A and B are shown apart, each in its own frame.
Chain A
Amino acid sequence: DAGITQSPRHKVTETGTPVTLRCHQTENHRYMYWYRQDPGHGLRLIHYSYGVKDTDKGEVSDGYSVSRSKTEDFLLTLESATSSQTSVYFCAGASVSYEQYFGPGTRLTVT
């Protein structure tokens, strides 16, 4: 869905450094989500938001935090990156129940 963009698309960082990934949407989605995709695990939910400043934890939230100060932007922060957080991160948005629309992904490598 062209209405959801992610930045950066690729990032390499060192263990222990903070990292912030950005998701921007132009579709006025109320709900937004952050997932990580790893081989053998499919997609796993990290955090989600059901409105501005309303967020909650997902299945694999340890080591991650999120913020949503306006409808269009949903930020994912790794406070102190670890090698286990090397992954591909997807943002998604939803307005109508159950249908989520995904961004193109961010490939993060923690060395």
Chain B
Amino acid sequence: GDSVTQMEGPVTLSEEAFLTINCTYTATGYPSLFWYVQYPGEGLQLLLKATKADDKGSNKGFEATYRKETTSFHLEKGSVQVSDSAVYFCALSERDAGNMLTFGGGTRLMVKP
């Protein structure tokens, strides 16, 4: 079946540091890929998405590129802020799977001033 693997956290960075959170996937078909973010005490929010190979999703300074050859969708940001502290989830959805999402385990990011 489908699965998503993320780097384990927590990831602790200083403000303005460069962020990479790795995500790889296995899928039987041709999935769409997502990054969701969960701030403390809240539900998940869609951060960005990509629906086909080589697409780059971007939002709020975050970027991720759909790499079919390496089955990866790594999340990056050039300069993190304290307000980016949250848990980040990589996810995939297969076109014929009823819009259901398969999530990775989540990576907690902590940004220190």
Question: Is the pair B44, A97 in contact by a Cβ cutoff of 8 Å?
Answer: no
Interface string of B76-113 (1 = CB under 8 A from A): 00000000000001000101001111011110000000
10 contacts between A and B (CB under 8 A): A40-B105, A42-B105, A43-B103, A45-B101, A90-B43, A92-B44, A100-B101, A102-B36, A103-B43, A104-B41
Is residue A41 contacting chain B, with contact meaning CB distance below 8 A? yes
Q: Does A99 contact B (CB under 8 A)?
A: yes
> Given A43-B89, A102-B44 in contact, is the A58-B100 Cβ separation under 8 Å?
yes
Q: Closest CB of chain A to B21's CB: distance in Å?
A: 14
| Structural contact, B98 and A43, CB atoms closer than 8 A | no
CA distance A90 to B44 in the complex (A): 9
**B98–A31 contact, CB under 8 A?**
yes
A98 and B45: CB pair below 8 A?
Answer: no
Q: Are B46 and A42 in contact, CB atoms less than 8 angstroms apart?
A: no
Does A74 count as interface, using CB distance less than 8 angstroms?
no
Does A50 interact with chain B (Cβ within 8 Å)?
yes
Please report the number of residue pairs spanning A and B whose Cβ atoms sit closer than 8 angstroms: 58
Q: Does B51 contact A (CB under 8 A)?
A: yes
Query: Which residue of chain B has the shortest Cβ distance to A38 in the bound complex?
Result: B105
B98 touching A48, Cβ below 8 Å: yes
Q: How far is the CA of A104 from the CA of B43 in the complex (A)?
A: 4
Instruction: Pick the contact of B43: A41, A58, A105 (CB < 8 A).
Output: A105
Q: Is the CB of A43 within 8 A of B44?
A: yes
Residues of B within 8 A of A104 (CB): 41-43
A9 to B, closest residue via Cβ: B41
- Closest residue of chain B to A31 (Cβ to Cβ) is B99
Q: Which of B24-44 contact A (CB under 8 A)?
A: 32, 34, 36, 41-44
Chain B residues within an 8 Å CB radius of A50: 98
